[in-house]
């Protein structure tokens, strides 16, 4: 007969005896084995709307303070948020992008049409050097998305040689000619983006054969040091994952997954980013929670073919997709960002943390001025969105050991539907600090949560902060940029050396550090 651990016994007791104490977080504090890959806190920047131009890049001659063309305020804010990895140049754009157009003297760079995003003319001012130098400034890993949809194996392998070779070979010499002696040693390479859609409209069988070819050649040119990420499924297309994982070329170390939250009834009716009714607050959170099911079901398929979990699930596009702000240019996807979106971010990051054995990277879409951005700009003004603060508060989980936990939570009910009112994750950093993050999704009610550490004690809560807002749809506008901002949090009580009680305000997330 299987023996129960102290943790399981405590769980049973909690379920049986504490019927009236509905909200309880039990942490198996001695059982941390898996490290939360910091790349779960990654971002994505596409040549789309004002993400790159007018967002990250303003050019050296701009009146907006910049460092070699990059907006100084943005560089500082991204560093402060501890951005670990940045995906570029797309998205759909990547499968129309030819990297050689974006190198060399600016006045000689070829122009191209940005067919997917507004049909604007891309002048390729921001290319490989500008992107990789940005990553160096930010201290983050670059993640390059190669063109499989309209490119070729030759184009991809030449790009790898250009970025990573230190030998006397043609592409490395071209790089030197363009002013960069040392290779950048790019580690992450995406082999196709949405190959089932804008990246070529392929079937999984067709894609997996292409992947074999691209991946083998990327492996050879990358001297096997590159971590290749194969194109994975659109949302719940489990067949795609099954086909790719079954045939999995030996050299891929990740498979992507894309899932966007649409609070409205569908792509044609997404709902507004601000001023929305409460039903869209609820449906946004409800639909974001589907990420848990997606991660678990795709992981189960991956487990079948890769029980040792050598291939990471890389959720390299996620976030809420709403209507654009009034006046946005066609195809620019500029949306505001409310406290609801911050809660979507925190509950999603909890899901990734809690599945850190399989989820090795995630990239919220997109960094600046596009979809669920962490930063918005207008002229020389910059706004840090509520989502920005989630990433900043959650940075404590980066590369920390996940502590397995069990959350027992009451429901948040709305209009006859219900979701768990709480979300959480717990980790221990290299200095022995335990970080607990808890989100209360209920917009109308604070919730008292008991936290029980099993197998460890703590002396004190060293620090704590909270992010909440006056209304369920509050946001930071250019004229009122500090409506939603983290502040110190005091509403907790140490019960004994292993337990704590936290009163989490409505529509809020709290991060506590215990030692």
Beta carbons within 8 Å of 257's beta carbon, 6+ residues apart: 232, 233, 235, 241, 294, 295, 298, 313, 314, 315, 316
CB of 121 to ligand AHR, least distance (A): 18
**Which of the stretches 89-97, 132-140, 483-491, 506-514 binds ligand AHR when contact is defined by CB under 6 A?**
89-97
Identify the bridge partners of residue 440 per DSSP, sorted by sequence position.
422, 508
> Between residues 156 and 371, which has the closer beta carbon with respect to ligand AHR?
371
Q: Which of 194, 452, 459, 482 is catalytic?
A: 194
Q: Token pair of 115, please?
A: 């067919």
Work out the angle between the directed axes of helices 278-288 and 290-305 (0-180°, nearest 10).
10
DSSP classification of residue 57: B
Task: Establish if 90 lies at the interface with ligand AHR (CB under 6 A).
Answer: yes
**Which of the stretches 68-76, 212-220, 364-372, 475-483 binds ligand AHR when contact is defined by CB under 6 A?**
364-372
> Between residues 267 and 430, which has the closer beta carbon with respect to ligand AHR?
267
> Between residues 5 and 328, which has the closer beta carbon with respect to ligand AHR?
328
CB of 417 to ligand AHR, least distance (A): 27
Computed from CA positions of residues 426, 429, 434, 439, in that sequence, does the dihedral angle turn out positive or negative?
negative
How many residues of this chain bind ligand AHR (CB under 6 A)? 10
CB of 90 to ligand AHR, least distance (A): 5
CB of 452 to ligand AHR, least distance (A): 40
402 and 35 in contact (C-beta within 8 Å)? yes
Block residue for tokens 């592409």? 171
> Between residues 165 and 193, which has the closer beta carbon with respect to ligand AHR?
193
* 194 catalytic residue (yes or no): yes
> Between residues 7 and 97, which has the closer beta carbon with respect to ligand AHR?
97
In angstroms, the first-to-last Cα distance of the chain is 37
**Which of the stretches 51-59, 90-98, 162-170, 382-390 binds ligand AHR when contact is defined by CB under 6 A?**
90-98
Q: Token pair of 499, please?
A: 């337990």
Per-residue string for binding with ligand AHR, 394-423, x by CB under 6 A?
------------------------------
Question: Residues for the chain: how many in total?
Answer: 515
Q: Which of 122, 130, 317, 428 is catalytic?
A: 317
Distance CA 347, CA 349 (A): 6
CB of 251 to ligand AHR, least distance (A): 23
> Between residues 328 and 463, which has the closer beta carbon with respect to ligand AHR?
328
Beta carbons within 8 Å of 381's beta carbon, 6+ residues apart: 478, 481
**Which of the stretches 14-22, 363-371, 380-388, 484-492 binds ligand AHR when contact is defined by CB under 6 A?**
363-371
Q: Token pair of 299, please?
A: 């992981």
List the interface residues with ligand AHR, window 172-231 (CB under 6 A).
193-194
| Sheet bearing 401-402, strands edge to edge | 401-402, 422-428, 434-440, 508-514, 461-467, 487-488
Q: Token pair of 162, please?
A: 């250009």
List the interface residues with ligand AHR, window 295-334 (CB under 6 A).
317
DSSP 347-386: HHHHHHHHTTTTEEEEEEE-SBSSSS-SEEEETTEEEE-H
321 and 260 in contact (C-beta within 8 Å)? yes
Q: Quick one: which of 285, 356, 365, 500 contacts ligand AHR (CB under 6 A)?
A: 365
Block residue for tokens 């589907």? 290
CB of 485 to ligand AHR, least distance (A): 27
> Between residues 320 and 504, which has the closer beta carbon with respect to ligand AHR?
320
Distance CA 81, CA 366 (A): 15
CB of 52 to ligand AHR, least distance (A): 13
Task: Establish if 49 lies at the interface with ligand AHR (CB under 6 A).
Answer: no
Task: Establish if 46 lies at the interface with ligand AHR (CB under 6 A).
Answer: yes
Q: Quick one: which of 91, 149, 249, 254 contacts ligand AHR (CB under 6 A)?
A: 91
Distance of CA 217 to CAs 95, 173, 207, Å? 18, 20, 15
Active-site residues, by number, are: 194, 317
Contacts with ligand AHR by CB under 6 A lie at: 46, 90-92, 193-194, 317, 365-366, 371
């Amino acid at each position: 007969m299987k023996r129960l651990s102290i943790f399981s016994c405590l769980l049973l007791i909690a379920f049986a005896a504490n019927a009236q104490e509905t909200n309880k977080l039990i942490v198996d504090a001695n059982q941390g084995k898996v490290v939360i890959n910091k790349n779960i806190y990654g971002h994505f920047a596409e040549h789309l709307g004002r993400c790159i131009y007018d967002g990250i890049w303003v050019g050296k001659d701009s009146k907006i303070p910049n460092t070699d063309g990059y907006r100084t305020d943005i560089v500082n804010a991204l560093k402060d948020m501890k951005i670990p990895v940045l995906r570029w140049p797309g998205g759909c754009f990547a499968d129309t992008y030819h990297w050689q157009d974006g190198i060399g003297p600016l006045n000689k760079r070829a122009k191209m049409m940005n067919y997917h995003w507004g049909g604007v003319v891309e002048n390729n001012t921001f290319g490989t050097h500008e992107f990789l130098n940005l990553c160096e400034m930010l201290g983050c890993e670059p993640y390059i998305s190669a063109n499989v949809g309209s490119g070729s194996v030759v184009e991809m392998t030449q790009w790898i040689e250009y970025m990573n070779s230190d030998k006397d070979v043609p592409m490395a010499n071209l790089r030197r000619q363009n002013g960069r002696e040392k290779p950048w040693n790019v580690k992450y390479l995406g082999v196709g983006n949405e190959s089932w859609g804008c990246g070529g409209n392929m079937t999984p069988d067709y894609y997996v054969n292409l992947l074999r070819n691209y991946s083998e050649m990327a492996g050879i040119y990358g001297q096997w040091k590159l971590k290749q990420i194969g194109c994975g499924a659109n949302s719940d297309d489990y067949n795609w994952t099954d086909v790719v994982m079954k045939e999995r070329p030996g050299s891929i170390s990740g498979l992507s997954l894309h899932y966007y939250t649409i609070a409205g009834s569908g792509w044609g009716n997404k709902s507004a980013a601000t001023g929305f009714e409460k039903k869209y607050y609820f449906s946004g959170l409800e639909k974001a929670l589907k990420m848990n099911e997606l991660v678990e079901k795709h992981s189960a398929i991956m487990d079948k073919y890769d029980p040792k979990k050598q291939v990471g699930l890389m959720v390299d596009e996620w976030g809420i997709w709403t209507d654009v702000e009034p006046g946005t240019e066609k195809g620019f996807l500029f949306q505001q960002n409310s406290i609801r979106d911050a809660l979507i971010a925190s509950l999603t990051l909890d899901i990734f943390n809690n599945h850190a054995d399989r989820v090795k990277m995630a990239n919220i879409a997109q960094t600046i001025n596009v979809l669920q951005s962490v930063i918005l700009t207008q002229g020389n003004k910059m706004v840090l969105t509520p989502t920005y603060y989630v990433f900043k508060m959650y940075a404590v989980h980066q590369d920390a050991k996940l502590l397995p936990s069990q959350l027992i939570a009451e429901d948040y009910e709305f209009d006859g539907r219900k979701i768990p009112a709480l979300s959480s994750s717990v980790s221990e950093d290299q200095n022995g600090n335990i970080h607990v993050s808890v989100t209360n999704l209920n917009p109308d009610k604070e919730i008292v949560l008991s936290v029980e550490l099993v197998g460890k004690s703590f002396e004190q809560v060293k620090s704590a902060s909270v992010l909440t807002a006056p209304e369920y749809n509050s946001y930071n506008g250019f004229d009122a940029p500090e409506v939603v901002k983290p502040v110190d949090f005091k509403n907790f009580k140490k019960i004994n050396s292993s337990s704590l009680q936290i009163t989490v305000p409505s529509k809020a997330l709290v991060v506590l550090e215990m030692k």
